[in-house]
Amino acid sequence: MAAFLLVGSSMKIGIVCNLKSGVIKSTHSDDFEEEFDSPETMHAIGAVLASKNHQISYFAESPNLPAELIKDRPDFVFNFAEGRGTSRAREARVPALLEILGIPYSGSDPFTLCIGLDKDVAKKVVSDAGVKVPKGAIFTSENFDIDSVPIDFQFPVVVKPAWEGSSKGIRDSAVAKSRQQLRALLIEALKGYEQPVIVEEYLPGVEMTVGLIGNGKELKVVGAMEIVPKIKDEFFIYSLEVKRNYLTRVDYCVPPKISGEVIDSLFNSALKAFKALGCKDFARIDFRLNTDDQPVFIEANPLPGLNPVTSDFGLIAKGMGLTYEKLILSIFEAATKRLGL
């Protein structure tokens, strides 16, 4: 078991992450490392924690990680490792390893990370908690013939891989307006991502994401951000191209320019989703409004990006008057308090 430390004492903190290598094999899609982080993010988090007199060590998620953690054992791990490969369990590997080694860590446990990455399962869990979710169907390479799966909604629809984050596999072209387009997108996604593919009704309202920090009675909504396209698009989606070119494609509004009644419903839905999924310490939950201006759950991010400049969570915090230092320390304090450190 991990030793308990006196409050305010210096800890040896390990930061575990996946860094972009910048080398994409010809067999991989160009968004293969989209979820991974830059040295900028790793060192920014490390600098915040080091400013409180903690000792910082950096670790890469790799087959060598168990030996490295045993050799240079930290008191606590600030985890934001996404995991390599296409497995829906990849985000759970580092937390599972840390639990085996008895090292306390920030963020959600392996089970929640598996659920959160599997968009279809996450939808079912939050729906059972009373949160609205989009109508949809899931396809595999065995049943990609769209006529074999009942679809009880109208076109247009959005096509996306079931086990990805950071908009991987969600391009500007991911909206199908006919069965012919849907068939082509399904074949492309099933071949390119080697996992099930979700087809969902297109929701015409604004897209928003909600940041939350805390646990139990101390769980709080940090704020919400509305993603507003700069150029009017009949079927706008927060695609990979938009995220890569956000300066020219979208404006970020924090807080969102929506009514107080919708904001209340949005925050209530985000809190329900956080709790239903079993998230810990922090998470970001994505929503889109339907034709009745009701928030509809799109997906959960129990391991959201924390880049100091470009991350959605960082932008939410900044828009709500929180510094990046305060954001990281709030997450760290939520984790250490939950763990009794």
Task: List the chain residues with pLDDT less than 50.
Answer: 1-7
In this predicted structure, what is the pLDDT of residue 105? 98
Instruction: Count CB neighbours of 41 within 10 A.
Output: 22
Contact 11, 106 (CB under 8 A): no
So where are the chain's domains? 12-106, 114-132+204-339, 136-201
Predicted structure pTM score: 0.90
pLDDT digits (tens, 9 = 90+) for 228-278: 999 888 899 988 888 888 889 999 999 999 999 999 999 999 999 999 999
Strand partners, 309: none
In this predicted structure, what is the pLDDT of residue 240? 80
- Fold classification of 114-132+204-339 is D-amino Acid Aminotransferase; Chain A, domain 1 (3.30.470)
pLDDT digits (tens, 9 = 90+) for 286-323: 999 999 999 999 999 999 999 999 999 999 999 999 99
In this predicted structure, what is the pLDDT of residue 31? 53
What is the C-alpha to C-alpha distance for residues 47 and 41, in angstroms, rounded to an integer? Answer: 10
Under CATH, which architecture does the 136-201 domain have? 2-Layer Sandwich (3.30)
- The domain 12-106 having CATH identifier 3.40.50.20: the answer here is yes
In this predicted structure, what is the pLDDT of residue 167? 66
Strand partners, 297: 287
Identify the DSSP state of 283: E
Edge-to-edge strand list for the sheet holding 136-139: 136-139, 197-201, 157-161, 175-176
Residue of 151, 271, 253 lying closest to 208 (CA atoms): 253
In terms of C-beta density within 10 A (0-12 exposed, 13-18 middle, 19 or more buried), how is residue 142 classed?
exposed
In this predicted structure, what is the pLDDT of residue 28? 55
In this predicted structure, what is the pLDDT of residue 188? 87
Residue-by-residue DSSP string for 132-196: ----EEEE-TTS--GGGS---SPSPEEEEETT--TTTT--GGGEESSHHHHHHHHHHHHHHHSS-
